[in-house]
Structure 1
């Protein structure tokens, strides 16, 4: 599993209806994309209490070929054409779990980025963080790490907004999940 995200911070007065219409009209295009486990079409809105307006799709890939096909093909080029070339963050997957609400359509997501502290054994830290405990309302959760920055990300989809969940909060506009069943649960090493 590979995790990938790009986030476009938009002006404070940006009409987020533009993003909502974009996702409503184009979101289905990845509903059967080869190699894609899932793509959560995410936004944050200042009007809803976020510090910024942003569009921040989050992907879990079942194969590097699928990810590369997207990045170097017309899918990502559409983002580049409309928004410019964003910085793409990428993490190696270390764990995945379906939650108690796995059959529900997610309405919210959280992204918690945690630096791997200096002086700790990386393997022990990652093993501890990769233990995903099911929580009420959790649809699915992925844990991944960027070893170039020593940053761990915990990405969780929720049936409803989880007010006590730590991390950046997003609204889910659409979920493409052609290969979700192929995302192997548990630790990935």
Structure 2
């Protein structure tokens, strides 16, 4: 989103509608993520909802049975980035998360993937972690590792991560 986009619009949208995905069939969780250009040196505004599905049927219902139409109506045609969870480790109090730190990277071409290493966002942030997940995309050989926090973590200077505020978590 442009740096001059009024992120209050997104905040109001989530405040008014975030609950609508609470208990959605097949959804493990949806975290409504935002970052703002005016905060912590972020270079741009972003609205980046993160969905983790228990099953494909839930996502198919969301996309093709009219629920995604709300996004199309508000933001136009969007590319849905798809990933496969490699691991998901959520604390019992995960729903109290207010921030998430994302470390994104590429999976290098190799003769074997058994020794693949991934950057861990938690290595660049100091704070009590409430969960972690790593999602990869074998079509593009990219990945994102997310670490969740209740309090805004302290981030190492020049860390290659993005910090998002979580406006709502649906489970």
> 2:121 matched to 1:137?
no
- State TM-score, norm by structure 1: 0.78
Match of 1:96 among 66, 88, 106: 88
CA offsets 1:72-96 (integer angstroms, 9 cap, x no match) = 2322111111111111111111111
Match of 1:71 among 55, 63, 68: 63
1:21 is paired with a residue whose SS is helix
Partner of residue 181, structure 1: none
CA offsets 1:143-169 (integer angstroms, 9 cap, x no match) = 121111111221222111222375211
> 2:171 matched to 1:171?
no
Match of 2:144 among 139, 146, 153: 153
8 Å CA contact 1:94–1:130 kept in 2: the answer is no
Match of 2:52 among 54, 60, 64: 60
More deviation in 81-90 or 114-123? 114-123
The alpha-carbon deviation at position 29 of structure 1 amounts to 0.2
> 2:153 matched to 1:162?
yes
Gaps of 5+ in 2: none
Aligned residues: 165
8 Å CA contact 2:104–2:144 kept in 1: the answer is yes
2:83 is paired with a residue whose SS is strand
The alpha-carbon deviation at position 136 of structure 1 amounts to 4.6
1:113 is paired with a residue whose SS is strand
**What's the C-alpha RMSD, in Å, of the aligned pairs?**
2.5
Gaps of 5+ in 1: 1-9, 178-189
| Structure 1 residues 163 and 120: CA distance shift in structure 2, 3 A | farther
- State TM-score, norm by structure 2: 0.86
CA offsets 1:20-79 (integer angstroms, 9 cap, x no match) = 110000000000100000000011111213111111100111001101111223221111
